[in-house]
Structures are given as structure tokens and as C-alpha cells.
């Protein structure tokens, strides 16, 4: 039996333009796009009254699930409930496809352990199979290459059927995100509330771990990802040498480069450059690294990620258009079509006939954040 939905009087955000019209969805797939706004007045019609109809957002890197599992220090929430709470916030933020970032090789920055990460991965897989989630969830393995057990943990996690992306990162002081040791001190000592002596001991241990493990683990993990067909992202590249290493390792996505040099070289090397949407909303990096807006001006920004604030993805895209820093179709591509392409998801991310009907109804008024008024995943309304 054919199930049909008709979205009428839409401002349809296509990849390169916005058109007024109608979109027909049949059995979860976009079947027709028409510039006739008054057609199809049937029982299946949804009158958007001039609101935007756009593709569902595709989120490649969010650490948000951990905050639901451990909402306070020493507090653990029921895992199934934590995942559903996370999923509800993701979906109502307009995200229909999400890559939940789970840590592999833990660096002492969290009370959560490898067992917790494995349980979260298993719960994502179970809840997906049981159709208990609004958005479609995949797993992004955040591999801390400085840790001695990262390869072992990766091998245990990669068998999960939801693993579709891995990133190689080193958060040791003096590396990448924290080239400045003073910036590292401000961030970690403030976060962990530890004494100067304890901080110095922690930093010395992390530097030693990086020197001993990082290079060989990068090579081992990249080889495993290529063998398993898992796309690889770099993380916090800062220098030309970092970018050359990424190219040599067959990396396709540069996450959160920290300098203009690293971002522009990554773009020249045909890596997709991803930056944080909170960086756009705030007007700069919270850790003092390069501004996403500077990269946009240099045509060195392809993808936005909500990172730690799910709604920032949609908020950033509409804010860029409102400020005149780019047009709305371009801004929307950075949160839909571009991340879908980078993740190898050819069936979504654009309003185009034959693609999956992951759609958002968005209302926008100058001076206010966009309002998500409806969310459909594969034609089924989920929010």
C-alpha cells in the first residue's frame, strides 16, 4: 500500500536555491518537487504556510550522549533512558542522522570507562534495531592515539554494526588543540579542580604517553579503518606537518583544525574541513583557536558540527545567512548535504527526487533563533 504525504506552500531549500512550491513523499522517499504552491489539496496535504522545508541535519561529531549518561559527577543514569533523552534532544534540534562520538582509549578526563563506552555502543545498536529512536544513530569512535590501550579498545568496538566513522586525536599537552601549555592548564586545571602539583604530574604523564604511543597507534588505527571501510577524520590539526600526515594516512575529513594554515592546506589537499557550530554562534573558539568565520571567508569550511550543543547546528546555519556571511542554501549544505557526502550517505542530505524524505519544517524570524516546527525521518514524523 502506498503511503503519500504532500507538503504544500513551502519555501523549499534546495542545494543552490530556495523555491516556493510543493514536495510529494511516497513511502518515505521524495517523489516529486513542484513549484506549484496550491496543488494537491488532499487529506494527505500538510500546509507549511510559507515556512521553510529543508533536509534533516546530519551531525558527524557530538559528545552529547555522555552528558545524559553521567549528568553529574558520580551520577549514572539508566542507559536506555539516557540514550532516549539524548535522541529526543537531537531530533527536536532538527538532526535526523547523528554520529554519536564514543571515546576509545580514555585519558583520565572522565569517570566513564571502556566498559561504559562498549555498553553505550551496544545500546545504540539495540535501540536502532528495536526502532526506539527518532533520529538515525551511527557511532563515531574518538580514538585517543596517545593511550596505550586504544588499538585494543578499537578492535573490540569496531565490530558494532553502527560504527561508521573514526577520528584520530591526541589531547596531550603541547599537541594540536593544546599547543599552548598555558591554554591546557587553564582548560584542564579549571575543569578538574586539581592542585598545581597534581596538574604537573598529570601533564607529565600525558606527555610521556603521547611520545611513547601516538605515532605507532595512528598507523595501526588507520590501517584497521581502511581494512574495515571506516572513513577516518583527523582532529585538531595545527601545522603543515599534521596535514601531510593526514594525507599520508588516507584521511578524508579534517575535524576542528586549530589554525588557518592547517585548514587551508587541508582544503587544498581535498580533505573536507569540519568546524564547530558553537564556534560560529559564539563568534570564535572557546579555546582560543581559529574562528570558523575566518575559514568561511577563505572558502576553507565545508561542514559544521554541533559538538556540545545540538541546536547550534541549525542556529549557526540561519545565523550565517541572517548576517549575510553566506546565503541560506550554502549554509544549509554545511549541515546536510556536505556531512552526508563525507560519511558516504548518498541517500540523504538534499531535497531531491529519489532520496530519503528526511525533512524539517523550520520557521525563521529575523533576530530570533530558527524554530523547528516538524521533523520527518524517511517520511515518518518523529517530532
Give domain status of residue 40, yes or no.
no
Give domain status of residue 62, yes or no.
yes
The total number of structural domains in the chain stands at 1
User: Are 187 and 287 contacting, i.e. CB atoms less than 8 angstroms apart?
Assistant: yes
Give domain status of residue 259, yes or no.
yes
User: Are 349 and 339 contacting, i.e. CB atoms less than 8 angstroms apart?
Assistant: yes
pLDDT along the chain (383 residues), means of 10: 89 97 96 74 80 98 93 92 97 98 82 91 98 98 95 95 96 66 64 71 80 94 97 95 96 95 97 97 80 96 96 98 97 98 97 98 95 98 97
Q: What is the pTM of this model?
A: 0.92
Give domain status of residue 3, yes or no.
no
Task: Report the SS3 class of residue 13.
Answer: strand
Residue 298 structural domain = 55-349
Give domain status of residue 121, yes or no.
yes
Q: Position of cell 500500500?
A: 1
Give domain status of residue 367, yes or no.
no
pLDDT at 269 (0 to 100): 97
Domain containing residue 297: CATH number:
3.20.20.140
Taking alpha carbons only, the member of 193, 165, 128 closest to residue 305 is 165
Q: What is the dihedral of CA 287, 107, 214, 285, to 10 degrees?
A: -10
Give domain status of residue 140, yes or no.
yes
Give domain status of residue 369, yes or no.
no
Strand ordering across the sheet containing 232-235: 57-62, 95-104, 136-144, 163-169, 232-235, 253-255, 272-276, 303-305
Q: Position of cell 561542514?
A: 303
Amino acid at each position: 500500500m502506498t503511503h503519500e504525504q504532500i507538503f504544500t506552500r513551502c519555501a523549499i531549500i534546495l542545494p543552490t536555491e530556495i523555491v516556493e512550491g510543493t514536495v510529494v513523499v511516497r513511502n518515505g522517499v521524495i517523489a516529486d518537487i513542484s513549484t506549484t504552491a496550491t496543488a494537491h489539496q488532499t487529506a494527505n496535504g500538510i500546509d507549511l504556510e510559507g515556512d521553510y522545508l529543508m533536509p534533516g541535519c546530519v551531525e558527524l561529531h557530538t559528545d552529547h550522549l555522555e552528558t545524559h549518561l553521567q549528568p553529574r559527577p558520580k551520577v549514572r543514569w539508566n542507559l536506555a533512558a539516557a540514550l532516549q533523552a539524548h535522541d529526543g534532544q537531537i531530533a527536536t534540534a532538527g538532526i535526523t542522522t547523528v554520529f554519536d562520538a564514543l571515546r576509545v582509549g580514555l585519558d583520565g578526563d572522565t569517570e566513564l570507562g571502556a566498559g561504559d563506552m562498549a555498553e553505550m555502543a551496544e545500546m545504540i545498536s539495540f535501540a536502532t534495531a528495536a526502532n526506539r529512536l527518532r533520529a538515525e544513530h551511527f557511532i563515531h569512535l574518538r580514538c585517543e592515539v596517545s593511550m596505550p590501550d586504544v588499538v585494543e579498545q578499537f578492535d573490540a568496538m569496531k565490530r558494532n554494526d553502527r560504527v561508521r566513522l573514526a577520528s584520530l586525536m591526541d589531547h596531550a599537552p603541547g599537541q594540536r588543540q593544546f599547543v599552548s601549555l598555558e591554554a591546557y592548564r587553564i582548560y584542564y586545571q579549571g575543569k578538574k579542580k586539581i592542585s598545581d602539583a597534581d596538574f604537573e604530574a598529570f601533564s607529565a604523564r600525558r606527555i610521556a604517553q603521547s611520545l611513547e604511543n601516538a605515532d605507532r597507534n595512528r598507523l595501526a588505527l588507520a590501517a584497521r579503518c581502511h581494512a574495515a571501510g571506516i572513513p577516518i577524520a583527523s582532529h585538531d590539526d595545527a601545522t603543515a606537518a599534521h596535514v601531510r600526515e593526514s594525507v599520508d594516512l588516507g584521511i578524508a575529513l579534517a575535524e576542528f583544525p586549530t589554525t588557518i594554515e592547517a585548514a587551508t592546506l587541508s582544503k587544498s589537499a581535498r580533505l573536507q574541513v569540519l568546524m564547530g557550530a558553537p564556534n560560529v554562534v559564539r563568534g570564535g573558539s572557546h579555546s582560543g583557536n581559529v574562528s570558523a568565520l575566518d575559514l568561511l571567508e577563505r572558502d576553507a569550511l565545508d561542514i559544521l558540527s554541533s559538538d556540545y550543543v545540538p541546536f547550534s547546528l541549525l542556529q549557526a546555519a540561519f545565523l550565517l545567512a541572517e548576517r549575510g556571511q553566506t546565503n541560506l542554501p550554502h549554509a544549509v549544505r554545511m549541515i546536510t548535504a556536505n556531512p552526508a557526502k563525507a560519511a558516504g550517505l548518498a541517500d540523504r542530505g538534499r531535497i531531491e527526487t529519489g532520496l530519503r524524505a528526511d525533512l524539517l519544517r523550520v520557521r525563521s524570524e529575523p533576530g530570533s533563533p530558527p524554530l523547528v516546527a516538524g521533523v520527518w525521518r524517511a517520511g515518518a514524523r518523529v517530532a
